[in-house]
Amino acid sequence: MDDIDYDAWGDFIIETVRAKGWQEGPILDIGCGTGNSTFPMFTRGFDVTGLDASRDMLCVAREKLPPVSFIEADFMNFTLDKRFTLVYSVFDSLNNLLDPKDFEQMARTVHGHLEPGGFFLFDVNTTIGLRDLWEAGIAEGWSGDVYYRWDHSFDEATGLAKVEAYCEDERQSFTEIHYERAYDEPELRVLLERAGFCDFEALTYPEGDIVDGSEPRLWIVVRKPLTE
């Protein structure tokens, strides 16, 4: 993840929702991991909370950002005693929801934690993005003294991508297997509208243009209605 410009992503998120009328207020980062995606909001002075299901990752996040509140919870079913004006999630965290019913449940949970008029913004890999993730389906190299090799495959029938991530250093080696499900614009629109959201837009990054259907990754922004 060394080459990921989380700071630029933070700018994109804030600029996008400000252009749509966001007036600031509490922010929630779901799937925050080790806090890299939370950091840009914190450094800009926003009241940001991080949420993730991984206790180990949250331990790292708390060391990085002691003033920030980090919550261990599943982003499908969390219950907080706080409401937010913006909820965001980056780096295809939501592609880990392998069933559309789970995605809709997550969206309903987010909806319930937004203030009226609040925004939900996230990125997802599309079918095109997961089908053609890497040339020849392999990514390998060195990160410090760690050798890594990631083998990727895509199942057209299920829409699931599989990554077998092998890592090795002088002390140990291991393989992790990860799955992601592709989500495309038409399905996302339906799922989010069912969850109660309105003003659906699918955008490109970093331009913020409306997508044309050929994108490997979408940035989605929706809004909770002011009145329901």
Sequence spans of domains, the chain = 6-126+183-223, 129-180
Question: Is CATH 3.30.565.10 the right assignment for the domain spanning 129-180?
Answer: no
Q: pTM (2 decimals)? A: 0.95
User: Do the Cβ atoms of 101 and 115 come closer than 8 Å?
Assistant: no
Q: Which helix (H) or strand (E) holds 59?
A: helix 55-64
**Angle of helix 100-112 versus helix 185-194 axis, rounded to 10:** 50
Please list, residue by residue across 119-133, b when 16 or more beta carbons sit within 10 angstroms of its beta carbon and e when fewer do: bbbbbbbbbebbbeb
Give the distance, in angstroms, between the CA of residue 143 and the centroid of all CA atoms in the same chain.
23
SS3 at position 122:
strand
User: pLDDT tens for residues 26-80?
Assistant: 999 999 999 999 999 999 999 999 999 999 999 999 999 999 999 999 999 999 9
6-126+183-223 has which CATH code?
Answer: 3.40.50.150
What pLDDT is stored for residue 133 in this prediction?
80
What pLDDT is stored for residue 135 in this prediction?
66
Q: What is the pLDDT along the chain (228 residues), one digit of tens a residue?
A: 667 899 999 999 999 999 999 999 999 999 999 999 999 999 999 999 999 999 999 999 999 999 999 999 999 999 999 999 999 999 999 999 999 999 999 999 999 999 999 999 999 999 999 998 876 789 999 999 999 999 999 999 998 999 999 999 999 999 999 999 999 999 999 999 999 999 999 999 999 999 999 999 999 999 999 987
Q: Can you say whether the dihedral through the CA atoms of 52, 90, 88, 50 is positive or negative? A: positive
Q: Going by C-beta distance under 8 Å and a sequence separation of 6 or more, which residues neighbour residue 180?
A: 92, 95, 96, 98, 125, 130, 160, 161, 163
Q: Which helix (H) or strand (E) holds 28?
A: strand 27-30
Q: Do domains 6-126+183-223 and 129-180 have the same CATH topology?
A: no
